[in-house]
Amino acid sequence: MTKLPFYQVDAFASKPFEGNQACIMPLDDFLPDETLQAIAAENNVSETAYIVPAGEGVWKLRWFTPAVEVPLCGHATLASAHVLFNELGFDGEAIAFDTVKSGRLTVRRLKDGRLEMDLPAYRIFEVPVTDEIASALGARPVKAWGGAYYAAMFETPDQIIALDVDHAALKDLGEDSADWPRGNFGCFARGGEGVDVTSRVFGPGSGIDEDPATGSWHAMLAPIMQAVTGQDAVSCYQAYPGRGAHMETRLEGDRVKVIGQSVTVIEGQFTL
């Protein structure tokens, strides 16, 4: 039997049971793709991240949902850095992650203990709101953008909280992009309790009906908020029943800084 180190982390969380769960598995080398996917399905959280050392302060990083490998996952990147800084003793200021489709991502430890991710800002373009999409979301957005996600803007945060979507219908709707399939939706409204924007994320196209905290979505939301409000720095709340997540974003040219914290909730071994 092979035993692999295993950490489960609540990302974008100040204490357990907040934010989004990610399983982080440090490896010497990547296992076969079918094994990585099978482990992610067994873990059955929104993302399992695998990290492999690639030099001083550098790791290779891949992310798998229970169903597919994805080109970018922010919360599992944050969680991977949290594990390296807090569980595996990395004492540098910043960690570099080399990825297949999102290039080099860096995570820096701030003086207040939070982590700041540097992610690529997603390209955005306005798209129509169809009757089919409005029906599947359970309410009609006032405006929409395409890109990595279908981004749907609503008038109030209360509408976001109240959305009752048809996940099966959403799975084949939205915009195709080079790396992301259809069926990935970010729904948002300006405002909320103490924040600039409130959102929810639905990803049936990636095997996740609803995601509790989504860094990659905020890499698209940041340029949208800049276009809508002129703000480069935005405080964000991602709503999710029973959990919820807070993060901050800052748009800097074609990059987005996403800032948050994480907590380790499980440490153990995965046996193959």
* Contacting residues for 218 by C-beta, under 8 A, at least 6 apart: 74, 236, 247, 249, 256, 258
- CA angle, 189 as apex, 139 and 249 as ends, to 5°? 140
Nearest to 235 by CA among 252, 255, 213, 218: 218
Closest CA to 118 of 246, 249, 19, 264: 249
List the one residue out of 255, 143, 137 whose CA is nearest residue 202.
137
Q: At 12, is the secondary structure helix, strand, or coil?
A: coil
Residues linked to residue 185 through DSSP beta bridges, in sequence order: 150, 202
> Catalytic annotation on 47?
yes
Residue type (1 letter), 234: V
In whole angstroms, what separates CA 182 from the centre of its chain? 16
Which listed residue (18, 34, 42, 47) is catalytic? 47
Helix (H) or strand (E) holding 131: helix 131-137
φ and ψ at residue 164, rounded to 5 degrees: -125, 90
Residue positions annotated with a catalytic role: 47
